[in-house]
């Protein structure tokens, strides 16, 4: 499918803030999130879903799907930021009018559970989207110095083009040498596995696959990566980029492989390049990654280069 790049954001642009996934922790967190978006230099339009609650969801499925469609269709809104992750995005994937969304490409930002939407918008709309920090997080505001600088670089005219370096003090590591070139895809491993068998499942053909997760024991990471392997996704990918594994240690006192063991046995074993330790995902800093953009990965050189701008 033809790719659609969003227009670069400029100071004063209007950002639609919505919650296609889980409900906000509190109204105060929403207020802080709105202020954080304004502090970036944007106006902000608050969606109804930001304060809606339907159990663990930010309102019912109809509300969350309709609001996402409406924000894409609204010409006064220049970009869309997701408030938070949690759970719920997969529930609305079959409710969206992808043809209508494709006619109105614009910045779409989020991570974690938002991975489901990234996959769907990339697959059915050809839309370049942004895996990056959201304004509602456990460490409000979400945009520390490196996270903020990378976010604005990606959303602005530079479009994130060039070599992406880790913040000072965060070393990348080569788990398997080699060079690979392809579009970047992926995100949260739990969501990547959850889409298998659906119309919006991960398309890794000829791509660099990025993965990260939070709160998963090594055996669960093993199970999900094995699901991707059995579905052919690890064969399709040409290289692997590993982000943060946050709170993914073995249970104390239990026999277990480590996450590193699992990566060695399932990813390194493919013989493809594997670059690990990128500050992206559920850790902090959380560097923004434009998805469906051509990148070159050189694991031995500890290098990831975005070969084109993500914005137009």
Catalytic residues: 112, 212, 282
Residue 146, classed as helix, strand or coil, is helix
Q: Which residue has the tokens 């290289």?
A: 239
Residue 58, classed as helix, strand or coil, is coil
First-residue to last-residue Cα distance in the chain:
18
CB 225 within 8 A of CB 189: yes
- C-alpha distances (whole Å) from 247 to each of 172, 218, 230, 251, 256 are 19, 10, 26, 10, 15
**Which residues, listed in sequence order, are joined to residue 216 by a DSSP beta bridge?**
none
Alpha carbons 183 and 307: distance in angstroms, whole number: 10
- Among residues 16, 32, 280, the alpha carbon closest in space to that of 141 is found at 32
Residue 11, classed as helix, strand or coil, is coil
Q: Using only C-alpha atoms, what is the Rg of the chain?
A: 18
Side-chain-side CA neighbours of residue 168 (13 Å): 1
């Amino acid at each position: 499918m033809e790719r659609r790049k969003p227009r670069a954001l400029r100071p004063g642009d209007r950002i639609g803030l919505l919650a296609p996934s889980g409900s906000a922790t509190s109204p105060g967190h929403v207020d802080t999130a709105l202020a954080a978006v304004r502090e970036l230099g944007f106006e902000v339009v608050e969606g109804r879903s930001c304060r809606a609650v339907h159990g663990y969801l930010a309102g019912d499925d109809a509300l969350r799907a309709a609001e996402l469609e409406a924000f894409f269709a609204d010409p006064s809104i220049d970009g869309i930021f997701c408030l938070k992750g949690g759970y719920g995005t997969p529930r609305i994937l079959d409710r969206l009018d992808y043809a209508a969304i494709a006619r109105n490409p614009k910045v779409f930002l989020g991570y974690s559970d938002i991975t489901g939407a990234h996959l769907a918008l990339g697959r059915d709309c050809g839309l370049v989207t942004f895996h990056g920090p959201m304004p509602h997080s456990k460490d409000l505001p979400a945009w520390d110095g490196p996270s903020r600088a990378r976010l604005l670089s990606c959303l602005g005219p530079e479009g994130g083009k060039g070599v992406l370096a880790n913040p000072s003090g965060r070393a990348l590591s080569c788990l398997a040498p080699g060079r690979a070139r392809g579009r970047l895809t992926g995100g949260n491993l739990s969501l990547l596995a959850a889409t298998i068998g659906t119309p919006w499942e991960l398309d890794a053909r000829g791509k660099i696959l990025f993965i990260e997760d939070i709160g998963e024991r090594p055996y669960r990471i093993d199970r999900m990566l094995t699901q991707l392997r059995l579905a052919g996704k690890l064969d399709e990918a040409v290289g692997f980029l590993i982000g943060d594994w946050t709170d993914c240690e073995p249970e104390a006192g239990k026999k277990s492989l480590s996450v590193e063991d699992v990566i060695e046995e399932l990813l390194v074993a493919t013989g493809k390049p594997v670059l690990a330790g990128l500050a992206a995902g559920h850790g902090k800093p959380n560097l923004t990654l434009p998805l469906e953009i051509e990148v070159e990965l050189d694991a031995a050189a500890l290098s990831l280069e975005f070969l084109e701008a993500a914005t137009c």
